[in-house]
Structure 1
Amino acid sequence: MTRTTRTRRTPTLTVPELLRLRAQQEPDGVAMIVEGQGTLTFAEWERRSAALAAGLAERGVAPGDRVAVHFGSRDWIDFAVAFCGVLEAGAVAVPMSDRLAPAEIRYMIGHCSASAVLLGRDLSLPPDRSGAAPGPAAPEPWTATPAELESVAGPGSRPAAPPVRPGDLAQILYTSGTTGRPKGVGASHANLAYGCVTQPRHRRFAHSRHLLHAFPIGTNAGQTMLINALDARPTVLTPARFTPGRFARLIETYRPGTVFLVPSMAVELLDAGLHERHDMSGVVLLGSAAAALPPALAERLAAAFPNATVTNYYTSTEAAPAQTIMIYDRARPAALGRPAFDGSLRIADEEGNPLPPGETGEVWMRSPAASRSYYGDEEASARAFRDGWVRMGDVGYVDADGYLYLVDRESDVVKTGAYKVSTLQVEAALYEHPGIAEAAVFGLPHPVLGSVLGAAVVARSGPAAVAATVPGPASGPVSGPVPGAGQGLSASEVRAFLMDRLAWHELPERILVVDDLPRNQSGKVIKKELLTLLGDSTISKEGE
């Protein structure tokens, strides 16, 4: 999600310097539009952020203090002002979405010892229900809205902004926590500003007047869009709330040359048939992020957006701005591209030693900018960050031409008997089924094989959730069609479809048909929640 040129970068700027420079160059330029909520020019952004920074200083916020910024998607404008205002004050911004559970918000605030919380409309700091024993504790953070802080210091009375250096910590962004507690990933100004340019004629996405996205606040993809609003040529456009209909109308009305989404949004858009009722011809670049784009879905997008280059971006909150970029290629449908913009990629064994092309191992990436790290967790940082390299938590391989292929998340690989099964491979096969809109594959405990595969699928017609047992080496007979599956979708039919595409040990032992897959705020499937939908998830031996 960064530009494709290798020159004219300005890695030494801080984020406030980027904003001040853009406001000087294009004061009346529109940085951001939130559908139905308003617009933000660069001059307004800089003026309001400076006033908010002064208000923070008046309230006692010092350089290095952590300030949580808690907003919903309709308040992207106030969030942008709050984020840059916190950094202007020399403090560290901690973005948090309104989609988080109260316990998650409280955990993040406590973990980073935030001294203040800036709030969007109708939001409040949830009460502390942790039940912690009395004893020494961090003081309760104070709360305010951006408007309240902007009015604290009147015009002409603003104190001088503290010096902010490129190496200073700018942001703590919490990971999605799909496999455990969220971790706070710290990034410096130099990391966030890497790749940004100061010369207007060289700005990113020059083919576009508008750049459309619907990424949530508090995600790595959302923060990338915020930096795009500061640095790229097009105005960044976002809906106040994502629905397929709203998104399609914005594409037709604004004709954005660049559109970013996640695979689950793409599925909703296509399954609603909106590309057949709205003009999508203005889209030149269609980017997918946050999760790997299944080849079958990439094909559907290529057909729906006839003038667009469908592009997949692979990175992580820890690795950014390192990434691979892949323009969808039918000759390499599962490839995730090669490293971009001076980053590096390697496949390593368990000891971290590089492996040759074709061999499967852990995926590592090296950031071209100052590396990120886990805030307040040196032990976890030592495991994930090493000499500028970042462990991605994925298993994959690189082909002879340097293209990356993922086998699976390390935590999602299913060991069944003597075999290790890639859930991504099984999911890709499920996506080829014409009646399946979305799919997630996960491991289920088994008393003999250790684990077997389960699959949760969303049918195109949106069936009610129901489980069905299907035949396999350690299960009973077929239970028959799945009630409410729509379009004739049944467990036995799905399994028959997969038999020509997968090995016997890769076939799911149980199939769950659901209305929706559980997802976190980044759009990634939370597979551990699927186990609870199955009730007793243990597969018994045949005859027991």
Structure 2
Amino acid sequence: MTTHDRHLTLPGLLRRRAEEDPRRPALLVADVGELTFGEWDRRADGVARGLAERGAAVGDRVGLVFGERDWIEFAVAWCGVTRAGCVAVPLSDRLAPAEVRHALTDCSVAAVLHGAGADIPETGGWRATPAELSVAGGPFERDPGPEALAQIIYTSGTTGRAKGVGATHGNLAYGVTVNPRRRKLAHSRHFVHAFPIGSNAGQTMLVNALDASPAALTLPRFTPGRFAKLIESYRAGTVFVVPAMAIELLNARVHERHDLSSVRLLGSTAASLPPAVAAALAEAFPKATIVNYYTSTEAAPAQTTMIVDPARPASVGRPSSGGDLRIVTPDGATAAPGEHGEVWLRSPAGARAYYGDRRLTGATFKDGWVRMGDIGYLDADGYLYLVDRESDVIKSGAHKVSTLQVEAALYEHPAVAEAAVTGVPHPVLGKVIAAAVVVRSPVTAADLRVFLLDRLAGHEMPSRLLFVPELPKNHVGKVVKPRLLDLFDRGPSDAPSDAPSDAR
């Protein structure tokens, strides 16, 4: 962010864009409608005024529970809440009622704004749709300042109960510009995504809608065919996915049925791309630069960026956007190149924090650095390679096994559509390797093991293989590894891939 931009907030950026080009589309939702900058700004004022008239004070938390068909209403509500100086708590209506209740209760929301027909758990406070709350009038101004809390995102909770990560206005607006000539993604008229509301990826797309040159175009619910058709129909130049979506696009072979030649940038976020998947994306989108982004809800806007490179197929890149990166050994020292340790990123903006949890904040955030919860290493040129999530590393006998490495090897087999690896209990070794696999064509466990012989060491070889129709995922598309154990408890291992679905 340039010096003169340091006090800019996202609601302030919306005001500027509405003044510059009020009729320009900012956000389009497929089969639903569109929102111009002028309408977005006017409606955000109405929500902010409605909140103030109902007594909402600066710093009050306001839950936002919306479905993906409600992206327009959500965008209006988010900017209205933050313009009023309140703190937005975005949540997808795909979450289980208990998850929504936990988030709304955990941060003691004063009110809930929601989509029409949403089923909101009882948590206290009043509730309304943006239309019901809105109060007409002129521009509403209540500037809380860049250091004030703007939003709380509840993490996806793949390993336990979701935690609220708070971000300030300054953190969210880091790097945005008011200069029309410097707006990002200027190579396209639309950028396409299908991320759920309430995820860090979804919030990044909301920032893009305010800051980027093209209009945001979103699909209410991702399916490979509809997503590819949307790209083709709008000749979209930029596409954002998570790895699970990329895998579905490839498995459906949409590039054989749709013209995707307009895509110049395909970005993948939320998890690292298996090298075989990244290579297949480059073939499916031959005119696109494939970029892998590595960050977290806690670390943003710090991230590493990697333009997929055959010379470094497993790397997630080097720091970008003014951030920094280091690998820390168990004794707290900085690791040498090639040495494994904890991955820490340093944010160039004001650091985030866990809302209401100083102990956990102190364990994760330190002097601007954020502990990522991953084990990794740097090569001699400073490129980051992830070994595994700390919680996912499998200790089998005297060995430590990376689930990411075993998954990457499985993805190289042409019959494997998806794979997820975990450790299951063993009376002697403690744990052994277990892989759940979704296939696109018939294959046996014996075939897979033969294929893996020259790709994995003996201690990395899956002792159990389970063919399943789908992997357990959360609403963001990440595999929930604790639920893999339930699959292995229920299902027979080494079932042939053409077995009945209840055995796969």
Residues 177, 183 of structure 2: 8 Å contact kept: yes
Name the counterpart of 2:61.
66
Does residue 82 of structure 1 match 2:82? no
Name the counterpart of 1:198.
178
Name the counterpart of 1:112.
107
Does residue 522 of structure 1 match 2:504? no
SS at match of 1:60: coil
Q: Percent identity?
A: 62
Name the counterpart of 2:358.
378
Residues 312, 325 of structure 1: 8 Å contact kept: yes
Q: Quick one: which of 27, 30, 41 aligns to 2:25?
A: 30
CA separation of 1:9 and 1:384: change in aligned 2, threshold 3 A? farther
**What per-residue deviation string (whole Å, max 9, x for no partner) do you get for residues 398-453 of structure 1?**
00000000000000000000000000000000000100001000011111101111
CA separation of 1:127 and 1:65: change in aligned 2, threshold 3 A? closer
Name the counterpart of 2:333.
353
Q: Quick one: which of 229, 241, 253 aligns to 1:261?
A: 241
Name the counterpart of 2:125.
141
Name the counterpart of 1:98.
93
SS at match of 2:376: strand
Q: Quick one: which of 270, 288, 299 aligns to 2:279?
A: 299
Task: Tell me how far 1:350 sits from its aligned partner.
Answer: 2.5
Does residue 488 of structure 1 match 2:483? no
Instruction: Note the 1:287-326 alignment, pairs <5 A.
Output: 287-326=267-306
Name the counterpart of 1:503.
457
Task: Tell me how far 1:271 sits from its aligned partner.
Answer: 1.4
Does residue 341 of structure 1 match 2:321? yes
Cα distance in 1 between the residues matched to 2:252 and 2:163: 36
| 1:526 maps to amino acid | V
Task: Tell me how far 1:61 sits from its aligned partner.
Answer: 1.0
**What per-residue deviation string (whole Å, max 9, x for no partner) do you get for residues 504-541 of structure 1?**
000111111111111112211101101111226999xx
**What per-residue deviation string (whole Å, max 9, x for no partner) do you get for residues 176-214 of structure 1?**
111111110000000000000001011011111110011
Residues 244, 265 of structure 1: 8 Å contact kept: yes
**CA RMSD across the alignment:** 1.5
Cα distance in 2 between the residues matched to 1:10 and 1:330: 38
Name the counterpart of 2:422.
442
CA separation of 1:251 and 1:305: change in aligned 2, threshold 3 A? same
Residues 417, 438 of structure 2: 8 Å contact kept: yes
CA separation of 1:333 and 1:246: change in aligned 2, threshold 3 A? same
Cα distance in 2 between the residues matched to 1:113 and 1:351: 39
| 1:226 maps to amino acid | L
CA separation of 1:536 and 1:280: change in aligned 2, threshold 3 A? closer
Residues 385, 391 of structure 1: 8 Å contact kept: yes
**What per-residue deviation string (whole Å, max 9, x for no partner) do you get for residues 15-72 of structure 1?**
2111111111111111000001000000000000000111111112111000000001
Give the TM-score normalised by structure 2: 0.96
Cα distance in 1 between the residues matched to 2:479 and 2:369: 26
Task: Tell me how far 1:8 sits from its aligned partner.
Answer: 7.8
SS at match of 1:336: strand
Name the counterpart of 2:200.
220
Task: Tell me how far 1:7 sits from its aligned partner.
Answer: 6.0
Pair member with larger Rg = 1
CA separation of 1:7 and 1:283: change in aligned 2, threshold 3 A? farther
Residues 407, 424 of structure 1: 8 Å contact kept: yes
Cα distance in 2 between the residues matched to 1:112 and 1:537: 39
Name the counterpart of 1:13.
8
Does residue 211 of structure 1 match 2:191? yes
Name the counterpart of 2:137.
155
| 1:513 maps to amino acid | F
Moved more, 94-103 or 118-127: 118-127
Cα distance in 2 between the residues matched to 1:287 and 1:15: 23
Unaligned 5+ runs, structure 1 = 1-5, 129-139, 461-486, 540-544
Residues 319, 390 of structure 1: 8 Å contact kept: yes
Name the counterpart of 1:416.
396
| 2:335 maps to amino acid | L
Unaligned 5+ runs, structure 2 = 494-504
Task: Tell me how far 1:352 sits from its aligned partner.
Answer: 3.1
Cα distance in 2 between the residues matched to 1:196 and 1:162: 20
Query: 4+ residue runs of structure 1 moved beyond 4 angstroms?
Result: 6-9, 536-539
Moved more, 369-378 or 161-170: 161-170
**What per-residue deviation string (whole Å, max 9, x for no partner) do you get for residues 271-328 of structure 1?**
1121111101000000011111011001111001110001100000000000000000
Residues 466, 491 of structure 2: 8 Å contact kept: no
Does residue 272 of structure 1 match 2:256? no
Cα distance in 1 between the residues matched to 2:455 and 2:15: 56
Cα distance in 1 between the residues matched to 2:490 and 2:292: 37
Does residue 121 of structure 1 match 2:110? no
CA separation of 1:537 and 1:241: change in aligned 2, threshold 3 A? closer
CA separation of 1:312 and 1:280: change in aligned 2, threshold 3 A? same
Cα distance in 2 between the residues matched to 1:189 and 1:351: 35
| 1:218 maps to amino acid | G
Cα distance in 2 between the residues matched to 1:25 and 1:287: 29
SS at match of 1:236: strand
Cα distance in 2 between the residues matched to 1:88 and 1:361: 42
Q: Quick one: which of 232, 238, 247 aligns to 1:252?
A: 232
CA separation of 1:422 and 1:537: change in aligned 2, threshold 3 A? farther
Residues 445, 538 of structure 1: 8 Å contact kept: no
Task: Tell me how far 1:124 sits from its aligned partner.
Answer: 2.2
CA separation of 1:120 and 1:263: change in aligned 2, threshold 3 A? same
Name the counterpart of 1:481.
none
SS at match of 2:197: coil
Does residue 182 of structure 1 match 2:162? yes
SS at match of 1:379: helix
Residues 9, 195 of structure 1: 8 Å contact kept: no
Cα distance in 2 between the residues matched to 1:45 and 1:406: 40
| 1:428 maps to amino acid | A
Give the TM-score normalised by structure 1: 0.89
| 1:109 maps to amino acid | L
**What per-residue deviation string (whole Å, max 9, x for no partner) do you get for residues 137-191 of structure 1?**
xxx12110011011xx3335x8x53332011000000111111111100000000
Cα distance in 1 between the residues matched to 2:2 and 2:82: 27
Name the counterpart of 1:478.
none
Instruction: Note the 1:385-404 alignment, pairs <5 A.
Output: 385-404=365-384
* Count of residue pairs the alignment pairs up: 493
SS at match of 1:186: strand
